[in-house]
Amino acid sequence: MNSTIAAPTRRPFLRANWANLAIVSYAVAPEQVHDLVPPHCTLDLRDGQAFVSLVAFDFLGTQVRGVAWPGYRNFPEINLRMYVRHGADRGVCFIREYVPQRLVARMARFFYNEPYRRARMISQTQETPTSITIRHELILPTSTSTLSITGEKPAIHTDPAGIEHFFKEHEWGFGKTHRGELLRFRVEHPTWDIWPVRSFELYWDWAAAYGARWQFLQGRSPYSVVFACGSEVRVFPGEEIIP
Q: Could you tell me the pLDDT band of residue 10, with boundaries at 50, 70 and 90?
A: confident
Higher-confidence position of 232 and 72: 232
Q: Answer whether 50's CB lies under 8 Å from 43's CB.
A: yes
Dist CA 20 CA 56 (whole Å): 8
Decide if 3 is inside a domain.
no
pLDDT at 2: 37
Dist CA 184 CA 94 (whole Å): 12
pLDDT beyond 60 at 218: yes
Question: DSSP letter string over 35-101?
Answer: GGSPTT-EE--BTTBEEEEEEEEEEEEEEETTB--TTSSSEEEEEEEEEEEETTEEEEEEEEEEES-
pLDDT at 242: 82
pLDDT beyond 50 at 1: no
pLDDT at 6: 39
pLDDT at 243: 76
Decide if 89 is inside a domain.
yes
Decide if 4 is inside a domain.
no
Structure confidence by residue, pLDDT tens digits, 201-212: 999 999 999 999
How many CB atoms within 10 Å of residue 82? 21
Decide if 129 is inside a domain.
yes
pLDDT at 138: 98
Structure confidence by residue, pLDDT tens digits, 138-191: 999 999 999 999 999 999 999 999 999 999 999 999 999 999 999 999 999 999
Q: Could you tell me the pLDDT band of residue 220, with boundaries at 50, 70 and 90?
A: very high
pLDDT at 77: 98
Dist CA 35 CA 53 (whole Å): 17
pTM, to two decimals: 0.94
Decide if 42 is inside a domain.
yes
pLDDT at 8: 42
What is the average per-residue pLDDT within 118-133?
Answer: 98
Decide if 236 is inside a domain.
yes
pLDDT at 5: 39
H or E segment at 105?
Answer: helix 102-112
Region of 187 please: left (phi>0), alpha (psi -120 to 50) or beta. Answer: beta
Domain extent for 108: 14-241
Decide if 2 is inside a domain.
no
Structural domains in the chain (count): 1
Residue 167 sits in a domain of what CATH number? 2.40.400.10
Decide if 7 is inside a domain.
no
Structure confidence by residue, pLDDT tens digits, 70-81: 778 999 999 999
pLDDT beyond 60 at 4: no
Instruction: Name the average pLDDT for the chain.
Output: 94
